[in-house]
Amino acid sequence: MTDSTVTPDLLRRFSPLDGLKRENVAALAKKMEVRTLDGSKPLLREGDTDKRTYYLVSGTLELTDRNGNVRLLRAGTDEARNPITPVLPRRCTVRAVDRVEYISVDTELLDVMLTWDQTGSYEVNELRSDDRGNSDDWMTTLLQTKAFHRIPPGNIQAIFMRMQQVHFNAGDVIIKQGDEGDYFYVITRGRCAVTRETPLNKEGIKLAELNVGDTFGEEALISQNRRNATVTMLTDGTLMRLGKQDFNTLLNEPMVAWVDHDEARRIVAAGGKWLDVRLPSEFEAYHEQGAINIPLYFIRLKLNTLDPNTTYVVCCDTGRRSSAGAFVLNERGFDTRVLRGGLNLTSS
């Protein structure tokens, strides 16, 4: 198996990657590689639950379901524009018929980028610092952090609008052990050291070194406790910070009611409607019967096509985009539910 570089042009051949803004496609391409697989070797197995999205670049794959039904997937076809058996757990075992090339991406990262891309009015380069050094990739790195994933998707745009850029010199103390929490930080340029003072070591024990894309400071804000460590700049650098009040406000789940798939079906059977906020190409690949498709970025433009007296079960692949869509609708008085876990975790 060998790897080669992924280009933005290659990613635009696939759905929903072709729906991302140019800068975001370029950032995603840096996270991916074209990989090869020899004939007869398995790529995916039925029942797999790994959260990665796969695309076929060249060659032919054989997909076999639990009933022994076999179909072929050939690169370059309309079907191959879509992810390979995306629903979890995987419904098919996938093997290479001949030598194939494929790419894969972390599904959570892709979904966060789609949400951010469609809820924000700016692009990656507008969010980077002017003096960014090696920080070109800090936004993509941030979107993968667990700390960032705790933030409700509907608040992504507000968070970045309210973040402040601050510059520090080597040796500057950013937060000090024992102080009250005031900001949540993201490193966009430079390196920091995390140290903790102990009764036997007043100078502090070095716990970690943080780099571009790393975050810190959230623990004290969430727990309402004092800082449990000191963070000092090892080099000159730049950080983005979010104030305590904004952090706590935006960390709260928006006005969203979550339902599982069974409850969603009961709501629809009682007169509700499925509202799928994925891109049209994703919708065409698979969707709930009778669903309405309004991509997330069109929600505000299509409000007049929705019935304020209908309950909408908003859905997407994972629940991230749908929660953002429901937040917009709820602000305007619509009654919504959000499919917990998304379509990728449900069965047709």
Q: Are strands 215-216 and 183-189 parallel, antiparallel or unpaired?
A: antiparallel
Domain edge (last residue) among 184, 219, 251: 251
More confident residue, 5 or 65: 65
Domain edge (last residue) among 106, 137, 165: 106
Residues 20 and 301: their CA atoms lie apart, in Å, by 19
pTM: 0.65
pLDDT surpassing 80 at residue 151: no
Residues 173 and 234 in one domain: yes
Residues 226 and 152 in one domain: yes
pLDDT surpassing 60 at residue 122: no
Closest CA to 233 of 169, 181, 179, 178: 169
Per the structure, the count of domains in the chain is 3
CB distance 42 to 94 below 8 Å: yes
Question: What percent helix, strand, coil does the chain show, rounded to 5?
Answer: 30, 30, 35
| Residue 225, domain member (yes or no) | yes
Q: Torsion angle, CA of 166/169/171/174, rounded to 10 degrees?
A: 0
pLDDT surpassing 70 at residue 124: no
Residues 101 and 9 in one domain: yes
What's the CATH code of the domain at 32? Answer: 2.60.120.10
| Residue 41, domain member (yes or no) | yes
Tokens of 63: 């997909």
**SS3 (DSSP) at 54:** strand
Residues 138 and 51 in one domain: no
Closest CA to 238 of 87, 88, 333, 135: 135
| Residue 141, domain member (yes or no) | yes
pLDDT surpassing 90 at residue 3: no
CB distance 324 to 154 below 8 Å: yes
Non-local CB neighbours of 216 within 8 Å, separated by 6+ positions: 175, 184, 185, 192, 194, 210, 231
192 has catalytic annotation: no
Tokens of 239: 């950080």
% of the chain with per-residue pLDDT over 90: 47
Confidence of residue 339 (pLDDT cuts 50, 70, 90): very high
Residues 7 and 14: their CA atoms lie apart, in Å, by 12
Range(s) of the domain holding residue 146: 120-251
Q: Which of 92, 192, 315, 316 is catalytic?
A: 316
